[in-house]
A and B are shown apart, each in its own frame.
Chain A
Amino acid sequence: MKFPLSWLRDYIKIDCSSEELVDKLTMAGLEVEQVATIGESLSGIITGRIDRITKHPDADKLVITSVFDGKTHHQIVTGASNIAEGDIVPVSLPGAVLANGTKIKSTKLRGVQSDGMLCSEAECGVAEHSAGIWILSKDTPIGIDFIDYAILYDVILDISILPNRGDCQSILGLAREIAALTGQPFSLPPVTLSETAIDHNYSVKTHSELCPLYLGRYITSITNTGAPLWMQRRLQLCGIRPISMIVDITNYVLLETGHPLHAFDDQKCDQKSFSISEVTEATTITTLDGQERTLSSQQLLILNDDNPVAIAGIMGGQNTDVSESTHSIFLEAAYFDPTSIRRAATSLGLRTESSMRFEKGVCVDTVDYASQRAASLLVTYAGASVSKNVITATLPKHPCFDTHTLTLSPDQLNTFLGSNFTSQQIETVLTSLGFKVDNTLVTIPSWRAHDIKEWPCIAEEVARLIGFDTIESTLPHSLPIQDNDDPLVELTKITQDFFVANGFNEVNTYPMISEDDLNYISELKKDDWNELANPISPQLAIMRPLLLPSLLSLISYHSTRQLPNQVLFEVGRSFQNDVEISSLGVVMSGKHDLGAYTEAHRALELDIFSTLTHTCKRFFNQLGLDISLSHDSKSLATWAHPHLNYTISLNKMLIGSLAQVHPTVLDHYGIKDPVVYLDVNLTKLLTLQNSNSIYRPFSRFPSTRRDIALCVPDTLTFSDIMEVATKFKHKTVIKTGVFDVFESESLAPYSRSIGIYFIYQSMTETLSDEIVNKNHQRLCDRLTESLPVQIR
């Protein structure tokens, strides 16, 4: 909210510099976001009356004016066409400086002496552009300092008012706060209102607890012209556009006191009986901005007879709004329940200066003060008459009228804060803020009733004003035994460390994806999506069920930037139905020759599928987990290559998958090179703790190796062979592996050669060649009997 210093100075003496004031406010929780100084360069602008306008002898577009400043006449040549004799205008005489820094000098224009300049609003710094000279109202005194009169120079503080400080959403409220901060006295300026015995038929009833106080004044004989210039200027400085006397005065009082008021046009109120009630069935009303709005149950309406005329506390209706021809009004001042106003404003999507104040809570004690203030301004500036007969509807037992007290001793306060404030200090601070202190009994001022609910709030007020920085720092005395970290924290750390050490780059992505992304990687039904109700874009609309789409987007991003070879991983959240899991996602794309430049090294270019599979095995090995990789076409994921894929399980529980990504999915991301993806459910992994390792004795006798080279048809896999080998191998076989794979024309068509080694070792003796040969021959026989393979 914007606060012009000149307006605050009407109510409070500000001795310190504006920098000091800004610092004090900011430290006390009223954060000054911006300090704007306007009209800093202006100087010497006065008001003058144009007494005579004559043609310029040598220029069609110029005229010669004679301007009277109350003492002398000045001859000023101008090109403006919107002026007439008798107009009162801002005048800058030689020596004056305009808003843009131009210094005015006497000069000759086409041969005619010109001693000054008639000013536009832009030249006075109150508008960006203006079409002509600023014509002031006829009652403007002439020869006065116009910079002061029209508030052309001011310092405006833009303060972010925190949600608990509704009481500071007004000039008077902030003045009271500044008074407490600077040790100045403050009291509400008295209002003198002369009321007249005018009869009217208005009546008001409240039918809702949400409106415990409603007060109406009948005001008539209003001269509804423009508001005085200073009032218009103050509204402008606070960001409100001046409209008409009645509207401007209600807005002015809103800014000044923090109380939203509303004026109903008397002539448009067919019936004079007002009531406030909660909507029971959907009701429509056209608000004064011309929008038709539908209210639903529990929202508060102001009714004229049965006709809705305003959405309580938010906006008036078009049917009773004031216009230029309005001369009599019914002026509303009220207290509405903050929560109900906020609920209604939120559901209508309509936030107004009025709703902003009601929802943070206005002070119930000053509702009538604000009404009187507006009425007195109408009397003073619009010649209005105010009826003595004030209409009030009230629920006197409503808790908003209660006086609140709290008990807090200085000891209790100091124990809580760890401070050493004296009872004198505490009392001084609280009194300056409007609290009443009687020993340990503290009475809360009515304007803080929404905010001060418990004794720590009072401690906060004391610390805030004396300064948190004055409390001497200590370290806690208690030293509880440190609790366990979440086990996921440690697993995440090990996972990150492993993949970084193995050359993978960690990324951090948004967990939201688009509907398209989702459909390409899963067959989840729409009901099972974790879909956002209010996404900021369709690209970020659904919580991802796995990390793949996020990582593929990054592969795509890099491949369009000449960086197609990526090894990325992320430990992040994914969301499957109602379950939120911590997932590991790893992708490898492109070519990885490890930077080789010799022929021998280049030949070692990594196969990304095999490399990631090996990395995956090493990862689980490091975790001490004995996983099994299996090729299971039944549980094949939508995104996976039909052949190059594995499911990863631990203790027969599925914990992840590893596969080349299906080219259809890659097409969606515009990725040309193959991508391999590893997905591990870390949350599930945590629940599957392997038993502790137990030492097993190992053989110290020498081992013997035997090799077999098999000619194998392409349809048979290595794992098919190993399945049979595992079944028939002798118990002295302690290790097997592949030493050679090749394809050649010398072999049978559609076949390849696989060389497999077997290591024989006994726990109890050195094996003789005869025994090993016998066992190995038996294995070879079994292999050739059971499988369509030949020993080469």
Chain B
Amino acid sequence: MIDILNSIKTDSISKINDIDSLHELDQLKSFLLGKKSPLMDVLKEIPKIPAQDRPIIGKQANQLKEDLTNCLNQKKQELINKERDHFLNNNQTDISLPTSGLPSGTYHPITTVTRLICSILNRYGYAIKQGPNIESDFNNFEALNIAPNHPARDMHDTFYLKNKRVLRTHTSPVQIRTMLMQEPPIKIIAPGKVYRCDADTSHSPVFHQIEGLFVDKHITFADLKGTLEAFLQELFGKNHAIRFRSSYFPFTEPSVEIDVSYTVNGKTSWLEIMGAGMVQRNVFRHVSYDPDSYTGFAFGLGIERIAMILYEIDNIRLFYENDHRFLSQF
């Protein structure tokens, strides 16, 4: 009996090893372990053998059954894996074909640069404020120490509406609006559209500025310098020289223009980047702040100018043409 079992074992294992498909494996399984299988024949014979041999033979036969079952399962998993590998390795999908679906949208470069500047100054504690584009003469000029017939009005080619209001010529009226609403300390920036009617090829009648204002006790010109140097180094990188040049704005005193040294095509020159200064005392008077208690600094810069430098754009009109072939580059 033992010999029969051993030969069944040898024979079965060899058959299992020869199998190549799951279907054949199924058939073999019923041949090896089914009711008419050689193993079953042996099991049926057990009651006929001497009682003392039965446990040994029975144990051996059951062991063989278990071994064959394991062997079949192992073979089955092998064949499944093989079939899966075959399927995976024979995938003919051309993944190099173009993708289809939602195209990517783009931000206008003015938005990108505005966000960049605001995110730097936001970290310095400046809150972002906005104001209307149609302004009163008071907010745009008078409160900023530009009386009617002040020669500085020449610096602003102003669009007037038929109702005598103006399209703001700078974002500075947001200073006035904020100071009229709140008491110091004031620490704000105000990005937005501004309008000048001096359009030619190098100007646009509509452009964008960011205004900054910090009013508190004991604010100094040195603070203005330190703040704007830090800001410009973040914006342009640390290896640019910065200079503060005397200038004139009716709403600041002292007033400066800030130049950054910039190298284009190997040629280094000073680029005029922003205007700034200490808030003029008359501006404080117009918003009922005591000029003897508070000082402050204000600054302003043109967003297009920064975008043109950062992206090497040579024509301001590209921003407003909104040509897809321009916008899709940002």
Contact = CB atoms under 8 A, between A and B. Distances in A.
Asked if chains A and B come from one complex, the reply is yes
Q: Which of B182, B187, B221, B223 has the most CB of A within 10 A?
A: B221
Nearest to B253: A456
B133 A511 contact: yes
A540 B195 CA distance: 12
A339 B151 CA distance: 8
Contacts of A483: 127, 182, 186-188
Nearest to A457: B253
A38 to B, nearest CB: 24
Contacts of B321: 557
A507 B161 contact: no
Contact of A508 (B97, B125, B320, B323): B320
Q: Which of A419, A460, A512 has the most CB of B within 10 A?
A: A460
Contacts of A166: 151
A477 to B, nearest CB: 7
B6 interface: no
B108 interface: yes
B99 A595 contact: yes
B105 A531 contact: no
B209 interface: no
Contacts of A475: 223, 226-227, 230
B130 A478 contact: no
Interface stretch (B21-29, B56-64, B152-160): B152-160
A502 B105 contact: yes
B279 to A, nearest CB: 9
A483 B278 CA distance: 21
Contacts of A594: 100-103
Contacts of A349: none
Contacts of A596: 100
Contact of B130 (A488, A504, A510, A536): A488
Interface stretch (A22-30, A382-390, A440-448, A669-677): A22-30
Contact of A595 (B101, B221, B278): B101
A540 B206 CA distance: 11
B160 A532 contact: yes
A396 interface: no
A508 B105 contact: no
B180 interface: no
Contact of A29 (B97, B154, B245, B323): B245
A347 B76 CA distance: 101
Interface in A473-493: 473-480, 482-486, 488-489, 493
A342 interface: yes
Contacts of B256: 468
Q: Which of B98, B147, B186, B324 has the most CB of A within 10 A?
A: B324
Contacts of A164: 151-152, 248
A419 B225 CA distance: 11
B128 A468 contact: no
Interface stretch (B11-19, B30-38, B83-91, B211-219): B211-219
Contacts of A469: 243-244
B289 interface: no
B150 A163 contact: yes
Given A475-B230, A511-B133, A580-B132, A505 B324 contact: yes
B104 A486 contact: no
B239 interface: no
Nearest to A529: B162
Contacts of A535: 159
A473 B220 contact: no
Contact of A417 (B102, B222, B281): B222
B227 A476 contact: yes
A298 to B, nearest CB: 11
Interface string B92-136: 000001111111111110110001000000100111111011100
Contacts of A479: 125
A486 B322 contact: no
A706 interface: no
B246 A460 contact: yes
B295 interface: yes
B80 interface: no
A601 B103 CA distance: 15
Contact of B106 (A472, A484, A486, A506): A506
Nearest to B146: A163
B221 A530 contact: no
Contacts of A568: 322
A473 B225 contact: yes
Contacts of A742: none
A532 B246 contact: no
Contacts of A343: 148-149
A468 B323 contact: no
A729 interface: no
Contacts of B69: none
A479 B218 CA distance: 12
A346 B104 CA distance: 52
Contacts of A338: 151
Nearest to A488: B130
B46 interface: no
B151 A163 contact: yes
A567 B106 CA distance: 11
A601 B125 contact: no
Given A463-B221, A543-B134, A510 B254 contact: no
Contacts of B182: 483
A484 B187 CA distance: 10
B107 A506 contact: yes
B65 interface: no
B172 interface: no
Contacts of A580: 132-134
Interface string A718-757: 0000000000000000000000000000000000000000
B166 to A, nearest CB: 10
B222 A597 contact: no
B327 interface: yes
26 contacts: A26-B245, A163-B250, A164-B151, A343-B149, A473-B229, A476-B227, A478-B185, A479-B125, A480-B216, A482-B126, A483-B182, A485-B127, A502-B105, A506-B327, A507-B327, A511-B206, A532-B159, A532-B160, A533-B162, A534-B159, A534-B160, A543-B161, A563-B324, A595-B100, A595-B101, A597-B97
Given A456-B253, A463-B246, 20 more contacts: A26-B245, A29-B246, A163-B150, A163-B248, A164-B152, A343-B148, A416-B220, A463-B221, A474-B223, A483-B182, A483-B186, A500-B107, A503-B103, A508-B322, A532-B162, A533-B161, A543-B167, A563-B324, A567-B103, A573-B132
Interface of B: 97-108, 110-111, 115, 122, 125-130, 132-134, 147-152, 154-155, 159-162, 167, 182, 185-188, 193, 197, 199, 205-206, 214, 216-223, 225-227, 229-230, 243-248, 250, 253-256, 278, 280-281, 295, 319-324, 327-328
